[in-house]
Structure 1
Amino acid sequence: MEEKRNPIAIIVTRFGDIKVELYPKEAPNTVNCFISLAKKGLFDHRKIRRIAPGFVLQPSYSDFEDERCAISLDGEYRNNGFPNDIPFERGTVAMGGEGNVASGSCFFITLTDEAGKRLDGGYAAFGKVIEGWEVVEQIIALPTEKVDIGIPGVDVNEPIEPEYMEKVIVETWGVEYDEPVILG
Structure 2
Amino acid sequence: MQHLGLKRVVLVGQGLGAQLSWQLALRQPEQVAGLVLLNAGAREFLPESAPLLFTLARLPGAGWLAEGLLPRRLVEQALQQAYGQPVRLRAATVERYFELSLREGNRSALVDFLDQRRTPLDLAPLSALRVPTLIVWGARDRLLPIEDGQTLAQAIPGSRLIPLTQLGHLPQEEDGPASLAAVADFLHTLKP
Q: Which has the larger radius of gyration?
A: 2
Per residue, is there more helix in 1 or in 2? 2
Per residue, is there more strand in 1 or in 2? 1
Q: Which has the higher relative contact order, 1 or 2, with Cα contacts under 8 A spaced 6 or more apart? A: 1
TM-score exceeds 0.5: no
TM-score, normalised with respect to structure 1: 0.27
